[in-house]
Structure 1
Amino acid sequence: MTSPFEHFGTSAIHAGQSPNKWDLNQISPPISLSTTYKQSEPGVFKGNYDYSRDANPTRIALEENLAALENASHCKVFPSGLAAISAILRLVKHGEHIICAEDIYGGTLCLMEDVIQQIDGIEVTFIDFTNNDSMKKALKSNTKLVLFESYTNPTLKIVDIEEIATLVKNFNKDILVVVDNTFITPYFQRPLSFGVDMVMHSCTKYINGHGDVMMGVVMTNFEQLDNHLHLMQKTAGSIPSPFDCFLAMRGTKTLHVRMRVHMENALAIAKFLENSPKIEKVIFPLFESHPQHKIHMKQAKGMSGMVSFYIKGGAEETNKFLCKLKLISIAASLGDVESIIMAPLLMIPFTANEEALKKKGITPNLVRFSVGLEEKEDLIADLKQALEDS
């Protein structure tokens, strides 16, 4: 379902949610909790509604809404971002090959290493997607799927989506190119317009935006791929609850407004950090100092609230800084209205050795900040007092 409206915000509020769809013309989409539907006679039922695992009105309303936001023809939602990626990876068979970003989200990395490689027996090659030579060397005759994040976690590297899609398709047009667009959202960037086959998001993050729903979504313009995703919902039972779909749909209504403030706050904080004598380096795509700034400006319309930076010092100084924060919470997620901060190496177990992590830019003094919607002056004041005391 491509958007019936010209502007993103109008689609966010109305797409897939016409009151005419509901029995009483409700403005706010109702939560359909029924697991099954009455048939007028055996095998005859209204619309596609037979059993809720197969189709649910609240879930379909959300899928239509998200498809419009991504300007996609098809959309399917799943109970988590990893469930969404797992559904995608079921397109790959034993003996086939996947190329995956080396600095992919930790949960995806574990899925690739512990399940896809060890259990499913599928070959996976991890590469740096900002290096085209790495991609050229990794492509094989049995390569089936390529997966990367448009903005990597936590070092915010930016991949030229169109360049990668073109390179892969020129090698073999049947290789599927998949982008995880979680960090920047469809408000700022739509990867399908750059030639990829599927785009996914962890709706747990910005799309829901309120830290109370776990969900994933996959969008595509290809019916065959969408049929596979629906099979994963129906046969593998990978579906979110109607209530979670309702909450996520409530979140999308304010996505365009929230993303503008996330960007405004993040820009102000990145500038503050860049001028602080306690900060070694700031990573923010809107800054010309970012290695892929030109790529960002070419393919995105703005930036989310994600800012990464390095504290001067090591693990001790970083830990002290985080513990001094009063308003900003230490937590592992991102994209919420509340500001959340973390030091990846101090908080998440990594399987790679210290030298390999350092090569990727992941050191004890690296901090990832998901800037929320609080007043930016209060956030800066909290950062300032924590830095002064650390």
Structure 2
Amino acid sequence: MAPVIDPKVTHHDLPTPEPESPLRPRQPYRFSTLCATVENPYQKDQYGSSSVPIYQTATFKGISGEYDYSRSGNPTRSHLEHHIAKISSAQHAFAVSSGMAALDVILRMLKPGDEVIAGDDLYGGTNRLLTYLKVHGGVTVHHVNTTDPTSLHPYIKAGKTAMVLLESPTNPLLKIVDIATISADIKERAPDAVIVVDNTMMSPYLQRPLEHGADVVYDSATKYLSGHHDLMAGVITCNRDDLAKQMAFVINSVGNALTPFDSFLLLRGTKTLAVRMDRQQSSAMSVATMLDGLGFKVHYPGLPNHPDRAIHERIADGPGAVLSFTTGDKAMSERIVGATRLWAISVSFGCVNSLISMPCVMSHASIDPAVRAERGLPEDLIRLCVGIEDPVDLLDDLERALLEAGAITLAADEHQRYVRASVAHEGHVISRAVEKLAFNDNASLGISQQRSKEDREWFISAPGKVILFGEHAVVHGVTAIAASVDLRCYGLASPRHDGKLSVRFADIDNFSHEWKLDDLPWDAVTPVGMGNEHPEGLDEQLVNAISSRALPPSIEGQPKAKVAAVAFLYLYMILAHGGERPSFNFTSRSTLPISAGLGSSASFSACAATTILLLHQRISVPPLPLPTRLPHEGDPGHIHISHQGRRAIAPKVAEEVNRWAFVAEKILHGNPSGVDNSVSVFGGALAYTKAGFGKKSGMDPIQGFKSLRFLLTNSKVPRDTKKLVAGVGDRKREEPELINGLLNSIQSISDEARRCLADPELSREQLLNAISALIEENHAHLVTMGVSHPSLEAIKAKTKSTPYCLSTKLTGAGGGGYFKETILQDLIAALSTDNFDAYVTSVGGSGLGILSPYGQHAQPGSVPVTPPETPNSNSKEIDVDSTGLEALRACFETKTNGELAGWAEELGRWLFV
């Protein structure tokens, strides 16, 4: 029965979020209640849903209704905008597609000839858009220090100043702007100017600039309002009807209003704004206090030493959850950022997850370096955006990163756990900066600036490769299937502290040489900065300088050693940074036959690149767990559990190595495909397609590939691969129907082989039978194409005969491969009789491997952990002299090829990709 309504009783349409039934007076609700309560008395859902529905529609039926087209208006967005206005002390609110879209809408109120006053510490995207308007829109922009209200006075001009753009706190230096004072000054001196505030850093929970005289406020709602980084959105709020009308017109005209679904997500995110920010700024205060206590220069308005803390507390309700600090050394900052685990390296802020970044490299990289320097934006600045994780874990992770990077060290005082490392004390900041600025000049003068001693030996290995299918056809668009072969190149870096760099390439013309670091052509180097990638083309100036000025005359008769030496020195020099040039010896050896088309150069490139990246501290591998307490008598210490090195090298480390190994391959081969070095680094198997022929270039790993036993035979017949490839091209032009038919058949074989190799349901026997049949079919096509060889046919005939019955294929420059589990020693002997070298190995195994066998000599048979902590120069726990270090190198250089792999495996726990 419907209730009876007495017409004499006055019905109150209570403002949100008051319940509709009680009539007794209530005190204003607190902000967290306003956030969690989403009610709009002017928009009632017909079904009484407790969550605002998503009106996922582009159009609405009817004429003259409230809504007709979602670009102009949508009920879900209307609920969101009503809610945002409510928590922002605003009469009007608009939701658009991003924070920058919000600023774009606001700036469209400007016209040519207008002048804008903006801060000198702005978000990079804001600076970029203002620069565009300045260049293309006829708008004059004055960047001033808005933290001093009087600095705006010379630029405030009645009738000319159309807009004042403020941020407080600024991003990323957390400077405080007195919004109330500046607003009053502007209203007095240029009443028509619109005062705009970017409130993203604070959100409406901690700061509502409209209450302090601002005309328009905008937030990147991607940040705190949403809180989860799962949508892009921007919101604009204001109390002036005229400005609201202008902005509504622009949004409707441009069509950048927020979509219904994103409006729903943002509305949901705002409900937890208060509780999220309470946790985040509480943890941020703990982080800031820790860093400040260690002696770093910390920018955070919650700290007592912040110069404008009193102003911030007058206009805001909390310090927020973003802070930044400097280390005095950009390279150290980069190491800190790279060493964190919980703190994700990312631009943006406001997420429930904690983020870390270097603004000058990331969010503010679009600002010219000279402009950044002029505005006092330090290149070594680290920005921390604190999330809702447990603060104990966040502090521990950051502490470990600082320790690993060398920014802090164990304290001698038992009452203090860590202290800031002396290299980064404030008294040394200027000298470090001068040293870095003078690096290029000092290099040209031959002044060596060497880092602290590196007493670890780094032992690296990388596999070769075979092309299983698609050989001689990949250049014509056929997919090639490549796999690692467990014959490997090994590289050993042994420390030396005499200002020299030496190499021995045992299997590359047995080349050895030693350089004085100061004698290398440093004047020709344009270093690639930390975190940056090598340009697409080689630095020919550096290549030529190394070739003409660094190599001994005798190397002219050793062409393979020459390009290997150039590649090694090129990586060493171009990766050097911060004035530091480690002194060491690099010895390489290979169990791969050289020049057999099995990726020996790629495995060498991977070993060399990894070694140099480690010594220049551009990559790192997991260290020993850091101490959580001071050791005491009877303390068992950390117990290491081996995980057999599976997936121990992080993907981002492998990717960095692969990029630089590819650079070395460019020097060695001119225009490599990238297949060989990718297999050497990542191992396993991959499918590669060359760009062109209607296809995009790409390399895809074959997941689930099973490692297979393999008998590799070196035919010892040099073959000109380029000539063979050119021959196939000539035949394709002469006999297009025949060759194109063969290429299509080989593509079908590659596709079928890829499916077989990735099929988890095939038994090993089934896989071998399938692959063998495909090998036979594939080889017949290669013979027709004319790329086989009498030696290979002889090997094939021998292995196909009874009792062996093996399938043989071309793998590189004349080798033969055999898929079979059983290793036939009599077959190996028979092949040896015919002057062919056979190698028992496998395909599809591990990729790049790293071992640091420090301390192995002191305790024979002990198993080292990879890698150990760098020993403290004052520590007496480890004492390994140069004789001990040389012993490993001597042993490495004297092992036979047959002994090398087993000896290396027994040294300790290898980390593999």
For residues 148 and 70 of structure 1, do their structure 2 counterparts lie closer, same or farther at Cα, with a shift above 3 Å needed?
same
- Is the contact between residue 306 and residue 371 of structure 1 (CA under 8 Å) also seen in structure 2? yes
Q: Distance in 2 between matches of 1:261 and 1:243?
A: 27
Instruction: Give the stretch that moved more between structures: 135-144 or 341-350.
Output: 341-350
Q: 1:72 aligns with which of 86, 90, 107?
A: 90
After the TM superposition, which residues 168-247 of structure 1 pair with which residues of structure 2 at under 5 Å, given as runs?
Answer: 168-247=186-265
Q: 1:366 aligns with which of 371, 381, 384?
A: 381
1:253 paired residue number:
271
> Deviation per CA, 1:76-117, whole angstroms, max 9, x where unpaired?
111011110111111111111111112111101100102x11
1:306 paired residue number:
322
Q: Distance in 1 between matches of 2:188 and 2:249?
A: 29
Instruction: Give the stretch that moved more between structures: 161-170 or 92-101.
Output: 92-101
Residues 1:275 and 2:293 are matched in the alignment: yes
Q: CA deviation at 1:3?
A: 5.9
Unaligned regions of 5+ residues in structure 1, if any?
none
2:157 paired residue number:
140
1:352 paired residue number:
368
For residues 235 and 350 of structure 1, do their structure 2 counterparts lie closer, same or farther at Cα, with a shift above 3 Å needed?
closer
For residues 377 and 66 of structure 1, do their structure 2 counterparts lie closer, same or farther at Cα, with a shift above 3 Å needed?
same
Q: Distance in 2 between matches of 1:256 and 1:325?
A: 28
2:35 paired residue number:
12
Q: State the one-letter code of the partner of 2:135.
A: Q
3-state SS in 2 of match to 1:151:
coil
TM-score (norm 2): 0.41
Q: 2:304 aligns with which of 288, 293, 311?
A: 288
Q: Distance in 2 between matches of 1:212 and 1:257?
A: 18
> Deviation per CA, 1:269-323, whole angstroms, max 9, x where unpaired?
11111122xx521111011211111101111111221011112x41211111111
Query: After the TM superposition, which segments of 4 or more aligned residues of structure 1 sit over 3 Å from their partners?
Result: 1-5, 15-20, 350-354, 358-361
Q: Distance in 2 between matches of 1:122 and 1:222?
A: 24
Q: Distance in 2 between matches of 1:17 and 1:328?
A: 39
- Compare relative contact order (CA 8 Å, sep 6+) and give the higher one, 1 or 2: 1
- Is the contact between residue 9 and residue 256 of structure 1 (CA under 8 Å) also seen in structure 2? yes
Q: Distance in 1 between matches of 2:135 and 2:15?
A: 39
3-state SS in 1 of match to 2:197:
strand
3-state SS in 2 of match to 1:55:
coil
For residues 304 and 245 of structure 1, do their structure 2 counterparts lie closer, same or farther at Cα, with a shift above 3 Å needed?
same
Unaligned regions of 5+ residues in structure 2, if any?
1-13, 18-27, 406-913
> Deviation per CA, 1:17-56, whole angstroms, max 9, x where unpaired?
56971121110111111111110xxx332xx211111110
- Is the contact between residue 128 and residue 367 of structure 2 (CA under 8 Å) also seen in structure 1? no
Q: State the one-letter code of the partner of 1:239.
A: A
3-state SS in 1 of match to 2:288:
helix
Q: 1:128 aligns with which of 135, 139, 145?
A: 145
- Is the contact between residue 258 and residue 373 of structure 1 (CA under 8 Å) also seen in structure 2? yes
Residues 1:44 and 2:57 are matched in the alignment: no
3-state SS in 1 of match to 2:165:
strand
Larger Rg: 2
Residues 1:164 and 2:182 are matched in the alignment: yes
1:83 paired residue number:
101
Q: How many residues align?
A: 380
Q: CA deviation at 1:180?
A: 0.6
Q: State the one-letter code of the partner of 2:359.
A: P
3-state SS in 1 of match to 2:142:
strand
- Is the contact between residue 2 and residue 67 of structure 1 (CA under 8 Å) also seen in structure 2? no
Residues 1:338 and 2:358 are matched in the alignment: no
Residues 1:378 and 2:378 are matched in the alignment: no
Percent of pairs with identical residues: 36
Q: Distance in 2 between matches of 1:264 and 1:89?
A: 35
3-state SS in 2 of match to 1:285:
coil
Q: State the one-letter code of the partner of 1:122.
A: V
3-state SS in 2 of match to 1:269:
helix
Q: 2:114 aligns with which of 92, 96, 107?
A: 96
- Is the contact between residue 85 and residue 91 of structure 2 (CA under 8 Å) also seen in structure 1? yes
Instruction: Give the stretch that moved more between structures: 124-133 or 326-335.
Output: 124-133
3-state SS in 1 of match to 2:219:
strand
Q: CA deviation at 1:350?
A: 4.0
Q: State the one-letter code of the partner of 2:155.
A: A
1:118 paired residue number:
135
- Is the contact between residue 318 and residue 364 of structure 1 (CA under 8 Å) also seen in structure 2? no
- Is the contact between residue 176 and residue 312 of structure 2 (CA under 8 Å) also seen in structure 1? yes
Q: Distance in 1 between matches of 2:280 and 2:94?
A: 26
Q: CA deviation at 1:196?
A: 1.0
3-state SS in 1 of match to 2:181:
helix
Q: Distance in 2 between matches of 1:378 and 1:149?
A: 31
Q: CA deviation at 1:364?
A: 2.2
Q: Distance in 2 between matches of 1:103 and 1:272?
A: 25
Q: State the one-letter code of the partner of 2:319.
A: M
Q: State the one-letter code of the partner of 2:156.
A: L
Q: State the one-letter code of the partner of 1:316.
A: A
For residues 291 and 97 of structure 1, do their structure 2 counterparts lie closer, same or farther at Cα, with a shift above 3 Å needed?
same
Residues 1:327 and 2:342 are matched in the alignment: yes
Q: 1:58 aligns with which of 76, 79, 86?
A: 76
Q: Distance in 2 between matches of 1:134 and 1:258?
A: 36
